[in-house]
Amino acid sequence: MDNLKDYYVNCIKKLAVIIALLSGTISSQVIPILTQEYASNSIIMWAIRVITSTAVFSALFIICENFIRYKLWKMQKPEYDFSGIWVGTSIYEIVEGDGPPPKPLVCELNVEQDCLSSKLSPVKGGSYASNWGSIAFEIDLDKEGLSYAYYANGLSEAYYPSCINDRLPTQQIKGLEETKVIKRDEKKRPLELSGTFSHCAQGQKPLYRGTVNYKRK
């Protein structure tokens, strides 16, 4: 994320300079002319004071800052844009413990990203009994991929027969996934991810490992 943070800092520096120059120019050149022209009109003079006030320039800065942080970077740095919904399939290949591998699972990633932060928001898992989301989440722009520790609330006996028992009918899965970009669009925006995962139920065996592939929804 350091690349995006540097981009954000540079944009904010430029924005601050532009607003300072705009404010100085209006104060030194525009306001004197308007004051001389409309000095006898109290309504226009009031409007001029409001429009050229510090509050207006502060509001302008905030609006532009939000645009840079949430929108502009996606236009200028599409190669860093992982935000949005990703639909994926997990293929179980290794089981460390008793029981057969579960069936392939279909799930979704909901990536919320701006210049300064990123996270996985809970979404409905296609084969999970409840929601899942991230415990820790990182976008590695240098390695072009995502890494995250995640949880999933609830296990389905159809998918995890060796995990279900009378004491813990709805255990929580905790695991780790690492993915890399394998396909981009013409603007270099990531379209497909591929990687590996491993997880278990509340730290207990069996431990599951496999591969995962995601496509942007």
Give the separation between CA 193 and CA 101, rounded to whole angstroms.
23
Q: Over range 50-64, report the average pLDDT.
A: 88
Per mean pLDDT, which range of 6-15, 105-114, 208-217 is the poorest? 105-114
CB 32 within 8 A of CB 172: no
Q: What local confidence, expressed as pLDDT, does residue 167 receive?
A: 36
**pLDDT > 70 fraction of the chain, expressed in percent and rounded:** 82
164 falls in which pLDDT band (50, 70, 90)? very low
Count CB neighbours of 16 within 10 A.
13
β-strands 145-153, 131-140 pairing: antiparallel
Q: What is the pLDDT of residues 98-132, one digit of tens each?
A: 667 777 888 888 899 999 988 887 665 555 545 67
Q: What is the pLDDT of residues 176-187, one digit of tens each?
A: 899 999 999 999
HSE-CB of 68 using CA atoms within 13 angstroms: 20
Task: Classify the C-alpha dihedral 109-107-162-98 as positive or negative.
Answer: negative
Q: pLDDT averaged over the chain?
A: 82
Q: What local confidence, expressed as pLDDT, does residue 1 receive?
A: 63
Q: What local confidence, expressed as pLDDT, does residue 123 receive?
A: 66
165 falls in which pLDDT band (50, 70, 90)? very low
